[in-house]
Amino acid sequence: MSDSKSNDLKAKAAEFRTRAEVIRKEMGGNARQARIHAKGRLTIRERIDRLLDPGSFSEIGTFAHSEWPGAGPSTPGDGKIGGIGRIGGRPVAVCGDDVTVLHGSSSVIGSKRMGRIYEQALRDGTPYIYFGETGGARLPDTLGSTGFVKVSPDLHLGARARAIPVVTVIAGESFGGSSFKSAFSDLVVQVRGTTLAVTSPRVIEIATSEKVGFEELGGVDVHDRITGQLDRIAENEDEAIGLVKEFLTYLPQNAGEEPARMAWDGSLARDEHLYDLVPLARSRAYDVRRVIRRLTDDGKQFELKPNFGRGLVTALGRVAGRSVGFVASQPMHGAGALTPQACDKATSFLCLCDAFNIPLIFLQDVPGFMVGKQVEHERILSRAIMFFEALALCRVPRLTVVMRKAFGLAYFSLSGNATGAALIAAWPNAEIGFMDPAVGVNVVHAERLKQAADPEAERARLIEEWSHDTGPEGAAGSMDVDEIIDPADTRAWLRTHVDRLRIEPGTREHPKPLAYWPTCY
């Protein structure tokens, strides 16, 4: 190449470097960035910088802009920013809404840009992380048929079959496209003070005359306790980013791999603290999260949907250096009875763990399914059977420990015998049967108790007699329970068997059945 042509190319390259620097620094304008900071929020570029390893971000689509004639200079990135980077050395794809450009609204080029970034993640088998903060579809661009048909739904996410992990952080007011992406995700973190909804309060008021506030419509407390549409609340954006990083440490890069195994001390020592954590009396409550922390290698757990379906805890942790998923009865709430919400939560968690090759540990202390008019109207039947179907299709190995009580269909739903569990253990005080003896005596012997000279004494005698038949010896004698273990040996028992479990990852051509299940119920 001649010197003149070389100099021309250098000048051209310098020009594009300068343009890229201006786009990345100014975004949609310094004044708009200042307004974001005044709200105590970060710009999308600042979020990406804090998420990724320093210097690892490679942007895709820097020079994208709106397709409308003359709008290029005022629409850098067309409201969307993203690319490829690393978290803890692991490759990831990341993108999000840029509210400095037309409120981050969804449009043709911006949607195409995000689609291209997702394509990279899916092809390379890396996690995809999205920061949601958009007012929805861009108007009037999408009002007419010409513009509307160009902005199609996220079919690529719907057809993902959980091939790669997808994470959404709701970092601002998120409507339309950004709310849809959250519902496709394996983890949803919502920052306090933000809103997640299909439609904004303003549109709702215009369409229906209903007046509703942002928090009431889709604030964190709504989705944390009522809808279950988020997995974790973050008090601020830095906490949200920390939760994303922590979550990904438990997952593989994609469904074709196992999660990375961590070093562990190899100890099979007894832990007698469990004697004190779980009361002997079946009616006394305790926090099962304290039990889970005694069973994990590092005393930590990553709980999902902690305030939704609270009679059941679903959490990721590490046992014998491996990522595991805990599904545990929570006697602190409703005595640990399974509710429609708990069933939805468990189904979602089974799909996550099965798709990403995470073995499951079930800790049972369950009185059965909740009964009553309310739960019947909330479709307890359908949701309980959906949970059971997910269990039947689950392919990762499962270990089950019956700690105290396991009554009714709930025993089987929480990976009891004949459901494909790799092994089932029970503590010596465990009770397994059709129903709680205290309830059963009232139902079966109602007339006898009425006629007894001392009804309370007779009731206590009958409960004791019934309870004797619910002990684990019978199930262990018939090999429907594989072992009766000392509670103090539970951690050692789990470590021994988790360490040797064999996982068979799915493939892109042949995903596991639960990989096809919806990400929301």
Quote the pLDDT of residue 341: 97
DSSP-based three-state secondary structure for 130: strand
Quote the pLDDT of residue 265: 92
What angle, rounded to 10 degrees, do the helices at 288-295 and 490-500 form? 60
Quote the pLDDT of residue 233: 98
Instruction: For each of the domains in the chain, give its residue range(s) and CATH number, in order of start.
Output: 30-249 (3.90.226.10), 273-430+471-502 (3.90.226.10), 436-470 (no CATH)
Quote the pLDDT of residue 67: 84
Residue identified by tokens 């805990």 is 326
Quote the pLDDT of residue 331: 97
Give the span between the Cα atoms of 344 and 106, in whole angstroms.
Answer: 31
Quote the pLDDT of residue 1: 55
Encoded tokens for 224: 């944390």
Give the span between the Cα atoms of 175 and 137, in whole angstroms.
Answer: 9
Give the span between the Cα atoms of 271 and 289, in whole angstroms.
Answer: 16
Quote the pLDDT of residue 139: 67
Quote the pLDDT of residue 245: 98
Encoded tokens for 433: 């049967």
Helices (H) and strands (E) in the chain, counts: 22, 17
Per-residue pLDDT of the chain (521 residues; tens, 9 = 90+): 566 667 889 999 999 999 999 889 988 899 999 999 999 999 999 999 999 999 999 999 999 888 888 888 888 888 899 999 999 999 999 999 999 988 878 788 888 899 999 999 999 999 999 999 987 776 666 666 666 666 666 778 888 899 999 999 999 999 888 889 999 999 999 999 999 999 888 888 889 999 999 999 999 999 999 999 999 999 999 999 999 999 999 999 999 999 999 999 999 999 999 999 999 888 899 999 999 999 999 999 999 999 999 999 999 999 999 999 999 999 999 999 999 999 999 999 999 999 999 999 999 999 999 999 999 999 999 999 999 999 999 999 999 999 999 999 999 999 999 999 999 999 999 999 877 777 765 666 677 777 778 877 777 777 676 666 778 888 888 889 999 999 999 999 999 999 999 999 988 778 899 999 988 87
Quote the pLDDT of residue 441: 59
Q: Does the pTM of the predicted model rise above 0.95?
A: no
Give the span between the Cα atoms of 31 and 298, in whole angstroms.
Answer: 46
Encoded tokens for 234: 């973050």
Quote the pLDDT of residue 344: 97
Quote the pLDDT of residue 468: 66
Quote the pLDDT of residue 440: 63
Quote the pLDDT of residue 272: 95
Q: Cα 209 to the chain's mean position, in Å?
A: 35
Quote the pLDDT of residue 30: 92
Residue identified by tokens 């594989």 is 482
Beta bridge partners of 433: 407
Quote the pLDDT of residue 459: 75
Give the span between the Cα atoms of 350 and 325, in whole angstroms.
Answer: 8
Please list the alpha-helical segments (H only) found in 27-86.
30-38, 44-51
In which element (H, E) is residue 471 found? none
> Cβ neighbours of residue 267 under 8 Å, at least 6 residues apart?
492, 495
Give the span between the Cα atoms of 430 and 405, in whole angstroms.
Answer: 5
Contact 487, 280 (CB under 8 A): no
Residue identified by tokens 């209903």 is 210
Give the span between the Cα atoms of 504 and 502, in whole angstroms.
Answer: 7
Handedness of CA 484, 487, 493, 494 (dihedral sign): positive
